[in-house]
Amino acid sequence: MAGATKSDWIPIYLAYALCIAAGGAVLRYAGLPQPWDALVADLVATAVIFAFSYRYKNSSFYDAYWSVIPPLLALYWYYGNPAAGVDGSRAAMVVGLVWLWAIRLTVNWGVHWGGLTHEDWRYPIVRARAGKFATLADFGGIHVFPTLQVFATCLPIYAVMTRGQAPLGWLDALACIVTFGAISIETIADLQLHAFIARRKGGEFIRSGLWAWSRHPNYFGELSYWWGLMLFGLAAAPDQWWWIVPGALGMTWMFVFVSVPFMDERSCERRPAYREHMAKVSALVPLPPRG
C-alpha cells in the first residue's frame, strides 16, 4: 500500500482544524450544560468530518477522529471544572493516560495511512449493504454511531473531573495498571503486526508473538483501555455506576459481535488456513493456544 503524500495531508489537516473549531464554537456559545454541551459539540464536529468524507468519497477521513477527540474532551473537562473539588492526582493521571493512548494511536494511524486513495475496506461493504440508503448508512453507521459509542466510554473521564471527590484507593491502582497495560499491549501488537506485514508472503497471516495467543490482541488492548477508564470512573464516583459502566459494556458488544466477526470473516475468505487457526486461538482475550 502506497504511503500518503504531502498533498494528501492538506485536506486532513483542514478537516480536523474545522471540526475542532466547530466543536469549540458550540462549547463557547451554545450555553448548554455539561456534559451535553460536549456531546453536541462532538456531533457537530462529526458532521464536519462527514462533509469531507462525502466530498472526497472516502470515509477514512473519520479514522483519526477515534483518537483525536477524547484527549480534547479530557482537557475540556479537566480545565472546565476548577471548582469541582475532585482529587487532583486522579484527574492528572487520567488526563496523562488518555493523552498517551491518543498520541500513540494517532501516530500509528498517521504512519501507516495510505493516503486519500485508501479507504478502510469495511466502509464500502457498509454502504453496499445499505443500497439506496448508502449515504445515510455512511453518516449514521460509520460516523455518528462510533462518535456516540466513544463519547459514552469517555463519560468516566467526566466523572473523574466532576464527581471525583473520593480519595485515591486500590481501585485507582487497578485502573492505572489496566489502562497502562492496555496501551502497552496495543502498542506491542501493532508493532508485531506491522513488522509481519513488511515481510509476509501471499496467503500468510500473523500467528506469532501476542498474535499466537489472541487473533486480535490489538482489539483486546483497545477494549481493555476503555475498561481501565471505566474503573477510574468507578473509583471516583461509585454511586454513579449506572452511567459510568454502560459505555464499556457497549464497546465490548461492538468488538465481540461486530469488529471481531467482521475481521475473521474477511480473513477466512482470503486465507483458507485461517479457519483452522480460529479453532485453536482465542478471538480476543490472550489465552494459550488450544490443541
* pLDDT (0 to 100) of residue 202: 81
**Mean pLDDT computed over 190-213:** 94
* pLDDT (0 to 100) of residue 52: 98
Q: What is the pTM of this model?
A: 0.96
- Asked if the model's pLDDT at residue 1 lies above 60, the reply is no
pLDDT, tens only, 231-278: 999 999 999 999 999 999 999 999 999 999 999 999 999 998 999 999
**Mean pLDDT computed over 159-180:** 95
* pLDDT (0 to 100) of residue 82: 81
- Residue 6: other Cβ atoms inside 10 A: 6
- Asked if the model's pLDDT at residue 48 lies above 90, the reply is yes
pLDDT, tens only, 2-22: 578 999 999 999 999 999 999
* pLDDT (0 to 100) of residue 164: 84
* pLDDT (0 to 100) of residue 2: 55
